[in-house]
Amino acid sequence: MSIEPITGRYVAVTVGGAPRRIYFEEAGRGRPVICLHTAGADTRQWRHLMNDAEIAASNRLIAFDMPWHGKSLPPEGFETEEYLLTTEAYIETVLAVIDGLGLDRPVLAGCSMGGRIALQLAALHPERFSGFIAIEASDFQPAWYDIDWFHRPDAHGGEMGAALVSANISPFAPNAERWNTLWMFMQSGPGVFRGDLSFYTKDASLIPRLPAIDTAETPVHIIAGAYDLTCTPEDAERTAKAIPGATLAVMDELGHFPMSEHPDGFRPFFVEALEKMPGTVAAAA
């Protein structure tokens, strides 16, 4: 029998003038690192890294469920609202959580739409962070699918979403973690994946902001998996080139959900990314 070091609690914040009850998990101590999940998923994607004793020895990893995801309830009145995530609401939520937790310039690590918003925050609110790790992140991705497939009364959006995103998981991923990763999409609430994808596939506002990111003040490290069909290494490379001083790592055997689909394969890339961030206390070997 063993009990994991991850603890989960709730923090009350205000977003868009209305209260939100945000579920967050944390593990470790030292430099704070905020970890953002992908579209259609939740904090559980980060559980392997949060349980990594060497990483947690010098990093306080904090992951939270966006409203509508995981254990963070949607806001009051959601039953008549069409959920469509926006860049503005996403930024406001991340900053509200940082304030709510009293964090001083954390590192921000985000995957997929979390990586996209990390780059938006690098451009718009760099003073609130010490550095950015943007995983499977790019300037913009138009949809190669119809996002309306994933919210309809005659089929299960979660099962369809999981079947679609399985295209983004590497064949090198251990089978158990492949299916754990897909389970989160299967559990996603009705319309949530669609609403996340709306943000991810329709808002191109990041593109002109990239050249203004000052990596001398806040480093930006981008990581991309070769098996990611949504954010390909070419997409990540294009994005890194547009940010003066940004660095890039390509993972040959990983896909779009590296921390979740293949944690052992992702670990060295995440450790390398952490070492590029300010405030590194000791190298996590």
The site for another protein (CB under 8 A) is made up of: 144-146, 149, 154-155, 159-160, 162-164, 166-167, 170-172, 226-227, 229
Report the DSSP beta bridge partners of residue 109.
35, 133
Q: Quick one: 78 or 172, whose CB is closer to another protein?
A: 172
CA nearest neighbour of 117 among 143, 144, 136: 136
Q: Quick one: 199 or 227, whose CB is closer to another protein?
A: 227
**Minimal distance, residue 222 CB to another protein, in Å:** 17
**Three-state SS at 111:** strand
Cα(54)–Cα(56) distance, integer angstroms = 5
**Minimal distance, residue 154 CB to another protein, in Å:** 8
Q: Quick one: 18 or 144, whose CB is closer to another protein?
A: 144
The single-letter code of the amino acid at 284 is A
- Decide: 50 and 27 in contact? Cβ < 8 Å: yes
H or E stretch covering 187: helix 175-187
CB atoms within 10 A of CB 259: 29
Q: Quick one: 31 or 178, whose CB is closer to another protein?
A: 178
**Minimal distance, residue 160 CB to another protein, in Å:** 5
Q: Quick one: 11 or 147, whose CB is closer to another protein?
A: 147
H or E stretch covering 133: strand 131-135
**Minimal distance, residue 196 CB to another protein, in Å:** 17
**Minimal distance, residue 147 CB to another protein, in Å:** 11
